């Protein structure tokens, strides 16, 4: 999902508990954390549903652009870590992806996503192993998931086993802005376990036995920066922040990556 900015009134979920080291304990803690994130009610639930739907628009743009560049028109799509299904619904509305399916580690998210008519199937899974046969899907999507898991390359390799092509999207948080105390605290609150650069993201793809066949970066549109701006001052700050980031991304991409977080998406194919 698209995480909320650190100055929002409330975070998606409660603080991620300190991990005890055991993989089983880590997984149980992550599941509890994300279940809490999706089990909100009332106005807060509606707010974050709108936020995830807005994020899904940009994610769908990235998936479709990368696949179009490579001439990929999938007849079946699996999103691993589909959350509430916002991205799958957005792809279906755009008539992209063929049959769309999702898996998720949290029962609360599976319940929400499985009630959406646009999605063909949603299942609970263990966060590590997919039940599908090799090459079962034309396209796999792992969007804003790998920064949340302890061993992202292993998960990506498993997705690539079941999917002939995979689109990955992650935030590049190895930058000066993300090193500030408040930003580090926010990353912990939303369950980020990895702080990636473009180089480390590419290395992760290679470690999974894949190659990068196409890539893009996005500093996010103005409507995303303004979403939580509930006062004139916050709105002005959001517009200014967007303007600076957009300008730097256009004029000096390497400098932009060093200064602030941009979102990185890539199409991953087998090396052969």
State the angle between helix axes of 152-162 and 198-207 in degrees (0 to 180), rounded to the nearest 10. Answer: 50
pLDDT at 30: 65
Q: Is 163 helix (H, G, I), strand (E, B) or coil?
A: strand
Give the position of tokens 């470690």. 207
Listed in sequence order, the residues at least 6 apart from 194 whose beta carbon sits closer than 8 Å to its beta carbon are 146, 147, 148, 149, 152, 170
Please check whether the domain covering 23-219+261-270 is classified as CATH 3.40.50.150. Answer: yes
Q: List pLDDT tens digits, range 38-93.
A: 766 678 778 888 989 999 999 999 999 999 999 999 999 999 999 999 999 999 99
Domain map (residue ranges) of the chain:
23-219+261-270
Distance of alpha carbon 149 from alpha carbon 81, whole angstroms? 11
pLDDT at 16: 44
Centre a 10 Å sphere on the Cβ of residue 122 and count the other Cβ atoms it contains: 23
Query: Whole-prediction pTM value?
Result: 0.85
Do the bridges between strand 262-270 and strand 76-80 make them parallel or antiparallel, or are there none, so unpaired? unpaired
Mean pLDDT for the chain? 86
Two structure tokens written together for 150 = 């302890």
Phi, psi of 209 (to 5 degrees): 85, 20
Two structure tokens written together for 58 = 């940009």
């Amino acid at each position: 999902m698209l995480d909320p900015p650190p100055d929002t009134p409330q975070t998606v979920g409660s603080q991620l508990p300190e991990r005890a080291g055991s993989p089983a304990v880590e997984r149980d803690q992550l599941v509890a954390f994300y279940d809490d994130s999706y089990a909100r009610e009332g106005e807060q639930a509606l707010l974050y549903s709108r936020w995830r739907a807005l994020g899904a628009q940009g994610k769908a743009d990235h998936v479709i652009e990368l696949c179009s560049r490579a001439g990929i028109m999938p007849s079946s799509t699996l999103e691993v870590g589909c959350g509430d299904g916002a991205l799958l619904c957005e792809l279906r509305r755009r008539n992209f992806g063929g049959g769309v399916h999702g898996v998720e580690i949290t029962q609360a998210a599976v319940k929400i996503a499985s009630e959406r008519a646009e999605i063909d199937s949603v299942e609970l899974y263990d966060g590590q192993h997919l039940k599908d046969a090799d090459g079962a899907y034309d396209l796999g999507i792992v969007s804003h998931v790998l920064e949340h898991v302890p061993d992202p390359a292993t998960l990506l390799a498993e997705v690539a086993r079941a999917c002939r092509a995979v689109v990955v999207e992650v935030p590049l948080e190895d930058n000066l802005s993300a090193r500030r105390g408040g930003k580090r605290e926010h990353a912990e609150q939303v369950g980020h376990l990895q702080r990636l650069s473009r180089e480390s993201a590419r290395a992760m793809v290679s470690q999974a036995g894949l190659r990068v066949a196409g890539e893009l970066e996005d500093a996010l549109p103005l409507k995303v920066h303004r979403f939580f701006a509930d006062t004139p001052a916050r709105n002005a700050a959001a517009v200014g922040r967007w303007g600076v980031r957009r300008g730097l991304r256009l004029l000096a991409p390497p400098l932009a990556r060093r200064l602030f977080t941009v979102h990185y998406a890539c199409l991953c194919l087998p090396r052969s």
